[in-house]
């Protein structure tokens, strides 16, 4: 009997999470802010990889109602440049901004 109660509680919790995620997706779809999320880290930021992975794993871009891309502006001599280039191959919606494509942030729809 106790097992059925525990399973029922997990089922209700699952339905609640599913309903909550559907409502948040509907709300973010209605807003359509089309903003842009840009990160400008300090050179040598050790937690940058975790921050980038958190943005994509937590669906933060969709919840904010942005255009779906994460822009990162880095200094030319930043040691994290190689790491961000590797992550941009893993996450196609990660755009590494530099001096040649900084104008791209205003032209992507």
C-alpha–C-alpha distance, residues 42 and 65, integer Å: 26
C-alpha–C-alpha distance, residues 79 and 40, integer Å: 14
| pLDDT digit string, tens, across residues 59-74 | 787 777 777 888 888 8
| pLDDT digit string, tens, across residues 5-39 | 999 999 999 999 898 888 877 766 555 556 788 88
pTM: 0.61
pLDDT of residue 109: 44
| pLDDT digit string, tens, across residues 82-102 | 888 898 899 888 888 876 665
Residues, the chain: 109
Tell me: pLDDT of 107 over 80. no
pLDDT of residue 13: 93
Return the structure tokens found at 38.
């840009």
């Amino acid at each position: 009997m106790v097992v059925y109660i525990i399973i029922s509680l997990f089922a209700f919790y699952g339905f609640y999470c599913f309903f909550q995620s559907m409502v948040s997706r509907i709300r973010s779809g209605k807003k359509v802010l089309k903003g842009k999320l840009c990160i400008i880290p300090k050179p040598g930021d050790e937690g940058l990889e975790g921050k980038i992975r958190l943005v994509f794993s937590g669906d933060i871009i969709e919840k904010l109602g942005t255009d779906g891309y994460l822009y990162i502006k880095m200094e030319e001599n930043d040691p994290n440049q190689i790491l961000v280039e590797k992550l941009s191959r893993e996450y196609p919606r990660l755009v590494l901004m530099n001096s040649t494509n900084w104008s791209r942030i205003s032209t992507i729809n």
